[in-house]
Structure 1
């Protein structure tokens, strides 16, 4: 019944959206600017030059950082956008749906930001010690994507993800999908983007949302992803799919931000078959932000090279700060 409902919902949405808006579009103006300068003194035989983000680009991430932090606040405050400093930082945001209990189901919210013309979807993360436990328990085993949400005709069984992340995602996916569709329809004359945001476990859930959305929505609905402290979510086939459909686009709408010596992004280990997609931006000990090309870039300027193993990591770096924003509800 759930599968039939979801597929019917997807079909009716696509029919409406595809006929309501022309299929061609210009490059969207709401995306983060990408102005980089090369770190020419760091040669790499495997990857192109690592580049450092300029100050204006770093600053342009801050609204999204506050959105990720606000996801730690309870739904009764995010639905009214009364969650304190995190909400105040994006005062023009209009929420339309919120849910979760913070225990079995992470908090989440959906709404529209007219200033950057995007539908925002944000998922709560979890305590830094809890995420490390989650990355080391029985649910670390990989499983095929939920076939109700990710039809096997599009996503073969060879694409596998962390079982715990998949189970958590399935509890909120349809509610969030409906809320996003409602926002797109309500603002359809402005052809808004959809931006998936989260920190820690929330970054993993938002990545699964992004993969689900990019397969169901028409091409003119631009999907943008910004994840903070993202753990590895799936296998090589999953990472390659993310690269092909979310990272390697002319619109450049995918960033996973890693902070200093945070050990969470190097887990679960590659020896278990897990791989990161591309799109890493790493915050150095100097607070420089470097763009790291490729999947799991081994340079010491990127998270895999900076944190060889959990013992050299610093879990306090997991919550930030990310250009002054520390994750958590005030």
Structure 2
């Protein structure tokens, strides 16, 4: 009996010790789904945070105060700033991950209240091309597909692969609406770009399509994790109506729910099931917090100021930048050519 008592106490000690890192991970799922990697998540949330920086000079040179930690040494290849639609993204290479990183900015916080209100009423309104019965949110789809963002991103990915090799991984991330754009980007790279090594990780993203779309997406981009935070309101939007499963918005897997445990003074991660709508994860609580939406793992995911769609850039960066007639901006830098000869400019003739 005494031995059993000590075994029980030891088990409790090991359990409590596992909390000291701030996480409890279900690292392996019950099926063939990819493993969840906490360290990679902590890295990508920093990339998702950096895209909110308005000083494009610091972002381009990766010297901003959010360009530290796990992301040191990152090389920005291209920054896209679409002033017409208030969108921002960047593409670069993380040599430590052997990966191209693509990051999309979310909705700026000055307008998030109105944006959330609109999402309550938003209906599925676009048939996704060549996917039977798949419907998606027109606004999220268009933000990626029908702006300056898509051609700039795809062009930067192509040039990065020419320089760093065709087998380099591609990791796409974003927060809030940026997560929705990351979803369409990852799918685009697989379906239209023929890419195989694509991973997507989003933070606080809304639902983007119906159940049919979620099924197609999870099949085509299986290396995907949606991180949700406690009572974050945005992953609950647009609403999911369980009485109309095929006609309503539906998340794709795999959700990782980050819960704040006040009694333990840290957060716990739970890898959810493969349905996309696990009732024991974020759907088990009310989505009523904007503050939970703006911070993940202690990392701020919003702009530093509340100014609408504004940027700062030094004149010395003009040689890297190009604008179109609407003020949309692309900043590109040179990268080593594959044969080691003189570097080539990343600014190509095109729409901009």
TM over 0.5: yes
The separation in 1 between residues aligned to 2:214 and 2:203, in whole angstroms, is 17
**SS state at 1:77 partner:** helix
**1:305: how far off?**
1.1
Q: Does the CA contact (< 8 Å) of 2:201 and 2:224 recur in 1?
A: yes
**SS state at 1:315 partner:** coil
The separation in 1 between residues aligned to 2:113 and 2:213, in whole angstroms, is 21
Within the candidate set 248, 253, 257, 1:278 is matched to: 253
Residues 296/98 of structure 1: CA separation in 2 closer, same or farther (3 Å cut):
same
Q: Does the CA contact (< 8 Å) of 2:103 and 2:182 recur in 1?
A: yes
Matched, 1:180 2:157: yes
Residues 188/48 of structure 1: CA separation in 2 closer, same or farther (3 Å cut):
closer
**1:324: how far off?**
2.6
The separation in 2 between residues aligned to 1:58 and 1:94, in whole angstroms, is 23
**1:243: how far off?**
1.2
Q: Does the CA contact (< 8 Å) of 1:263 and 1:318 recur in 2?
A: yes
Question: Quick check: 74-83 or 108-117, which moved more?
Answer: 74-83
**1:105: how far off?**
3.1
Matched, 1:121 2:96: no
Residues 155/329 of structure 1: CA separation in 2 closer, same or farther (3 Å cut):
same
Report the equivalent of 1:144.
126
Q: Does the CA contact (< 8 Å) of 1:59 and 1:323 recur in 2?
A: no
Matched, 1:292 2:267: no
Within the candidate set 166, 177, 191, 1:215 is matched to: 191
**SS state at 1:211 partner:** helix
Question: Quick check: 57-66 or 178-187, which moved more?
Answer: 57-66
State the Cα deviation string for residues 77-125 of structure 1 (Å, max 9, x = none): 3222232233564121111110114672311000111100010000011
Aligned length: 263
The separation in 2 between residues aligned to 1:326 and 1:214, in whole angstroms, is 30
Q: Does the CA contact (< 8 Å) of 1:95 and 1:111 recur in 2?
A: yes
State the Cα deviation string for residues 47-84 of structure 1 (Å, max 9, x = none): 979xxx99xx4333211110000110134432222322
Q: Does the CA contact (< 8 Å) of 2:25 and 2:270 recur in 1?
A: no
**1:214: how far off?**
1.1
Report the equivalent of 1:325.
299
Matched, 1:235 2:214: no
Residues 112/58 of structure 1: CA separation in 2 closer, same or farther (3 Å cut):
same
Q: How does 1:151-166 map to 2 (within 5 A)?
A: 152=129, 154-156=130-132, 158-166=133-141
Ranges in structure 2 where 5+ consecutive residues have no aligned partner: 1-23, 242-246, 262-266, 305-352
**1:193: how far off?**
0.8
Q: Does the CA contact (< 8 Å) of 1:70 and 1:329 recur in 2?
A: no
Q: Does the CA contact (< 8 Å) of 1:128 and 1:318 recur in 2?
A: no
**1:218: how far off?**
3.3
Matched, 1:62 2:42: yes
Matched, 1:306 2:285: yes
Q: Does the CA contact (< 8 Å) of 1:79 and 1:95 recur in 2?
A: yes
Q: CA RMSD in A?
A: 2.8
Within the candidate set 27, 31, 36, 2:26 is matched to: 36
From the CA coordinates, give the structure whose radius of gyration is larger: 2
**SS state at 1:275 partner:** coil
The separation in 1 between residues aligned to 2:191 and 2:40, in whole angstroms, is 27
Ranges in structure 1 where 5+ consecutive residues have no aligned partner: 1-33, 39-46, 147-151, 248-252
Report the equivalent of 1:111.
92
The separation in 2 between residues aligned to 1:82 and 1:103, in whole angstroms, is 27
The separation in 1 between residues aligned to 2:214 and 2:109, in whole angstroms, is 24
**SS state at 1:270 partner:** coil
**SS state at 1:180 partner:** helix
The separation in 1 between residues aligned to 2:58 and 2:83, in whole angstroms, is 13
Q: Does the CA contact (< 8 Å) of 2:172 and 2:182 recur in 1?
A: yes
Q: Does the CA contact (< 8 Å) of 2:25 and 2:269 recur in 1?
A: no
The separation in 2 between residues aligned to 1:282 and 1:35, in whole angstroms, is 10
**1:129: how far off?**
6.5
Q: Does the CA contact (< 8 Å) of 1:239 and 1:277 recur in 2?
A: yes
